Amino acid sequence: MNKEKALKSINSIGKAGTVISTVMQILLIVGIVAVIVAGIAVMSIPEDSFEFRIESGGSIEFDANALPESAIKILPYDARNSAVNVDFSFNGINYRAVDTEVDGDHVTTLLEGKTNVINHSGLAIVLIAAGVILLMTMVVMIFIKKLCTSIRDCSTPFEQGVITGLERCAWVLIPWVIVSGIAKNVIESVLSGSRNMMFSISLSTVLVIVLIFGLSYIFKYGAELQTESDETL
């Protein structure tokens, strides 16, 4: 692949990225407007005029004889009467057995979880958190679009605009990961009623940030080499 063809491919990637990021921005704007409208609607409704109920449930099915003894000890299972009869918690939600059917060694137990009631204030919290996620994502998308525009218009991938764009994208992703993670946890806590405020960060996202920082330094190094080559010539 010659130099001109390679540069044309790079510019094409930047052009495609610019189009995609523009579409994403439009969708994010629509989402932000929808959250604002929903927030105004919620604020205009009296606090005691509505509530949402979210019910959780499920079932456990297993063959008592097929399971090893170690698994039987983990399950809330009473081997004496072949019944699941112990309450337990999973993913921050408390469950209790409401009915157990035994067909030979096959045990099926219906579970009833906590019924979570979301009131006026809870819905407002969810909308605020969702709005924060959308706004932070919009900020990230603005920097991504700037980077794609620089790649689209560059005469060499080692231009300062491309390098600066990579660095800015990496830096802006850090607060996005933290703030969005907290906001998502708030939404999940309100919807599940678990009030579990544990914060977690995706390792894959951290890896992407590290790789972008690495690319920015690689491009810096390439720019230095290109400058030395131009001065030599």
Domain final residue, candidates 116, 141, 161: 116
Are 108 and 19 contained in the same domain?
A: no
Q: Where are the beta strands (DSSP E) in the chain?
A: 52-63, 88-90, 93-103, 106-118
Q: Of all residues in the chain, what percent carry a pLDDT higher than 90?
A: 27
User: Which domain range does residue 123 map to?
Assistant: 3-45+119-232
Question: Does one domain contain both 93 and 107?
Answer: yes
Domain total of the chain: 2
* 221 and 165 within one domain: yes
Pair (139, 215) in one structural domain: yes
The 3-class secondary structure across 156-204, one letter per residue, is: CCCCHHHHHHHHHHHHHHHHHHHHHHHHHHHHHHHHHCCCCCCCCCCHH
Are residues 138 and 112 part of one domain? Answer: no
Q: Are residues 30 and 133 in the same domain?
A: yes
Residue 107: predicted pLDDT: 64
Q: Is pLDDT larger for residue 221 or for residue 72? A: 221
User: Is 100 found in the same domain as 23?
Assistant: no
Token readout for 120 is 């006026």
| Residues 39, 132 share a domain | yes
* Last residue in a domain, options 69, 101, 116: 116
Say whether pLDDT at 7 is over 80. yes
Confidence at 194, pLDDT banded by 50, 70, 90: low
Tokens matching residue 118: 């979301």
Q: What is the average per-residue pLDDT within 61-71? A: 59
Q: What is the mean pLDDT of residues 105-120?
A: 65
Q: Are 137 and 192 in a shared domain?
A: yes
Identify which has the larger pLDDT, 117 or 184: 184
Whether pLDDT at 87 is above 80: no
Output the pLDDT for position 92. Answer: 54
Q: Which of 32-41, 98-107, 184-193 has the lowest mean pLDDT?
A: 98-107
83 DSSP β-pair partners: 78
Question: Residue 61 — very low, low, confident or very high, per pLDDT cuts 50/70/90?
Answer: low
Q: Give yes or no: residues 31 and 92 share one domain.
A: no
- Lookup: tokens for 99: 């009915």
145 shares its domain with 35? yes
In sequence order, what DSSP letters do the residues of 193-207 get, joined into one string? ----------HHHHH
Q: Are residues 104 and 70 in the same domain?
A: yes
**Arithmetic mean of pLDDT over the chain:** 77
What is the pLDDT averaged over residues 209-224? 87
pLDDT at 227 over 50: yes
Residue finishing a domain among 116, 143, 161? 116
Q: Which residue has the tokens 């909308």?
A: 127
Residues paired with residue 53 on neighbouring β-strands, in sequence order = 117
